[in-house]
Amino acid sequence: MAVAVSGDSPKPSELIHDAEAELLDLASESQRTDWVYSTYVNDDTEALSAAAASRLIAATMRRARELARIPLESLAPAEARKVHLLRVSLPLLAPADPAESLELTRLVAAMQAAYAKGRHRPTGAKEPLDLQGLERILGESRDPALLEDAWSGWHAVGRTIRPGFVRYVELANRGARELGFADTGAMWASRYDMAPEAFLREVDRLWGEVRPFYESLHAFVRRRLFEHYGAEIVSPSGALPAHLLGNMWAQSWDGIYPLVATGLADDGLDLTRLLVDRGTSPTDMVRFGEGFFDSLGFDKLPASFWERSMFVRPRDREVVCHASAWDIDFVGDLRIKMCIEVTGDDFHTIHHELGHNYYQRAYNRQSYLFRDSAHDGFHEAVGDAVDLSVTPEYLVRLGLLGQAPPPEGDLGLLLRRALEKVSFLPFGLLIDRWRWKVFDGSISPREYNRTWWEMRRSYQGLAPPGPRGEDEFDPGAKYHVPANVPYVRYFLAAILQFQFHRALLRAAGERGPLHRGSIYGSEAAGERLRTMLELGASREWPDALEAGTGERRMDASAMLEYFAPLRRWLDEQNRGHPTGW
């Protein structure tokens, strides 16, 4: 029913203004309490965070229901967009019942806490290890028994998360349906300025463009692992064992680069060693990241960033170490939260996280509901595009490297990056593909784990190291599942980052191979990037994409162009060997 607007009734514009003012206050409160919880994990901070989140969700739901009664055709385009964005602004829509709303937010907080407290003592270890310690084993060891132990030990965390997850799905769907969505998955897919079914076709189209390249990389890696471990552990034509790929979730394979790059000319670059030899501190690494954006013409980070961020793991308390960028007040209180180690991986991660912070500051002059990225894949892609400019040439300009490796080492550089970026693509898609089916009821609780591994085999060509029953809950061993964070954004970002990178290099006047180019020091590239970032969510994403790239459609051609020399080499290496699984 439409709202009757009379002389005494608030105008739609007034309702929207009031909603934005209330939600900004509540969102800032929720960010502050969640920051405290994430950096001081205990029962009290968990309860405070859950209560603040519950208040924000309840107010968002109330305001969304109120504004949904206004016919969109009666609103100005900007107002209609705000109403739409409000309906999809939260990844979690709680039921109207206050008790169920609080229960839902407490469930999510409890699942996050169970994840953060996860520990396992591998065989021979003196004490239990957290995720970072177990990840180190996955990345460094070549002992299949130790790898399986570390992998299985961490995945046991899912067992404690599973009961809460079942109830969470029920309550989250109830809230989504109260706001007019078919289920939570349909709500998540409605964020992309197209109907959910059209969005699903879009991601399938993008995956279709890159799948042949992934299959070629998979076949090459499988053969190298087969040569190293033998047929008892690795099939020469089947799925890859998930615990052998150097990463807890096999979402990136760069940890096994030394194993699979045997005989390949290498770029000779060991960024971790360069940083350690220089005596680099965690704060120094963040300063390097800030300097990158300085070189593009962006303002320096505020003093509060350096005072309030968490750069290292505290010794006196539990924290959530998962790297993240924060916009506490949606104006200028920017922070990152990391347990930084002086490694090349964390050097790259810092550049990525700062990409979020600079995006957050760029759109902070927009109305509250427009203080977000054009779609959530943009937020991730901006940081990733910046990371693509962390090239040997960039490291030379920082003084970390004396001389960039010659082009003869490019195949090594490209293989290392493909093991990070290309291997991620199916994982980035399947997590939400699985969750969408959970939310719409296609996958029932009694088949959570079976369908998870069926999809991992179908998309990634992976298999677990041993039998996994329904008493396990392996999706829960990935942070974003218990934390209720939509994941398809990372798949989109994996495509978009190369599209952004190519366009920004062209703006910088770079005409060489995409994998050698860096926008560091180019104010022209910075201006083009800033133009896109400042739009926030005020325009539909094709408009923002056009502002940044001159193109209105997401496509994988830039990624394929970036890796073209490696693709040709892999095709030669795979000739006469099986592909697929």
| Residues assigned a catalytic role | 322-323, 352-353, 356, 380, 480, 490
Say how far apart CA 460 and CA 452 lie, in whole Å.
11
Ramachandran class of 97: left when φ > 0, alpha when ψ lies in -120 to 50, beta otherwise: beta
Q: SS3 of 215, please?
A: helix
Is residue 573 within 8 Å of residue 264, measured between CB atoms?
no
Using alpha carbons only, how large is the chain's radius of gyration in Å? Answer: 24
Q: Are strands 462-463 and 334-337 parallel, antiparallel or unpaired?
A: unpaired
Is residue 258 within 8 Å of residue 273, measured between CB atoms?
no
Ramachandran class of 461: left when φ > 0, alpha when ψ lies in -120 to 50, beta otherwise: left
> Could you give the count of Cα atoms lying within 13 Å of 453 in the half-sphere of its Cβ?
18
Say how far apart CA 419 and CA 62 lie, in whole Å.
45
DSSP string for 232-289: TTS-SSSPEEGGGSSSTTSS--GGGHHHH-TTSPP----HHHHHHHHT--HHHHHHHH
Q: SS3 of 391, please?
A: coil
Q: Are strands 240-241 and 324-327 parallel, antiparallel or unpaired?
A: unpaired
Say how far apart CA 212 and CA 494 lie, in whole Å.
16
Burial class of residue 287 in the structure, from the number of CB atoms within 10 Å of its CB (0-12 exposed, 13-18 middle, 19+ buried): middle
The encoded tokens of residue 423 equal 């291997």
Q: What angle do CA 525, 528, 533 make, to 5 degrees?
A: 120
Say how far apart CA 498 and CA 511 lie, in whole Å.
15
Say how far apart CA 41 and CA 319 lie, in whole Å.
5
Is residue 91 within 8 Å of residue 481, measured between CB atoms?
no
- Per-residue exposure over 353-371, b if at least 16 CB sit within 10 Å of its own CB, e if not: bbbbbbbbbbbbebbbbbb
> Which helix (DSSP H) or strand (DSSP E) does residue 336 occupy?
strand 334-337
From the CB of residue 239, how many other CB atoms can be counted at a distance below 10 Å?
Answer: 19
Farthest-apart Cα atoms in the chain, separation: 80
Q: SS3 of 77, please?
A: helix
Say how far apart CA 579 and CA 575 lie, in whole Å.
9
